[in-house]
């Protein structure tokens, strides 16, 4: 399993380590559902393509969740809002990426995206076992409706 903390990714595309959790979660879902190759080389090439197409910024901010899903090969219905409440349960034709948050001592929040099972349970944590996803609070979901 490839994680955003992988030293090869840190060397080649350093922004993935601190900020690539949503990107890595989508790559994982593509591997799981579409047999998308999940290798260091493919992840680096995908990062470059997503940045070049402006689906994602260099610091891994997702500019278009629909665009990111389509980049990885998902056929989705674009009219459906992506941002959902944490209590939302996906139907069988939807997939989710969860946003966890954890208060820090300085009054700010740690935030971390992971792949979910449709019911708010983490199935892939791109950090490995992140403190935010294991002890934090589920904040919201990014839900994509598949065709």
Distance (Å, whole) CA 80 – CA 120: 19
Strands lying side by side in the sheet with 137-145? 83-85, 137-145, 94-103, 109-116, 122-124
Write down the pLDDT at residue 87: 96
Give the pLDDT confidence score for residue 79 in this predicted structure: 73
pLDDT at 32: 92
Q: What is the pLDDT of residue 56?
A: 98
Burial class (CB in 10 A: 0-12, 13-18, 19+), 104: exposed
Q: What is the pLDDT of residue 81?
A: 79
DSSP 10: H
| pLDDT mean for each 10 residues of the chain (147 residues) | 95 97 97 91 97 98 96 89 93 96 93 97 97 97 93
The pLDDT value given to residue 80:
75
Is residue 20 within 8 Å of 54, Cβ to Cβ?
Answer: no
Sign of CA dihedral 18, 23, 26, 27: negative
State pTM to two decimals: 0.95
Task: Say whether 91 sits in a helix, a strand or coil.
Answer: coil
């Amino acid at each position: 399993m490839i994680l955003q903390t992988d030293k090869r990714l840190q060397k080649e595309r350093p922004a993935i380590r601190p900020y690539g959790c949503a990107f890595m979660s989508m790559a994982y879902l593509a591997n799981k559902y579409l047999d998308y190759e999940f290798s260091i080389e493919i992840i680096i090439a995908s990062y470059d393509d997503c940045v070049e197409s402006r689906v994602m910024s260099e610091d891994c901010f997702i500019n278009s969740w629909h665009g990111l899903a389509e980049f990885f090969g998902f056929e989705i219905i674009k009219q459906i809002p992506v941002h959902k409440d944490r209590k939302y349960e996906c139907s069988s034709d939807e997939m989710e990426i969860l946003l966890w948050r954890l208060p820090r001592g300085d009054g700010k929040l740690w935030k971390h995206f992971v792949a979910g099972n449709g019911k708010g349970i983490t199935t892939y944590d791109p950090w490995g076992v992140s403190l935010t996803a294991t002890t934090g609070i589920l904040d919201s979901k990014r839900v994509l409706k598949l065709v």
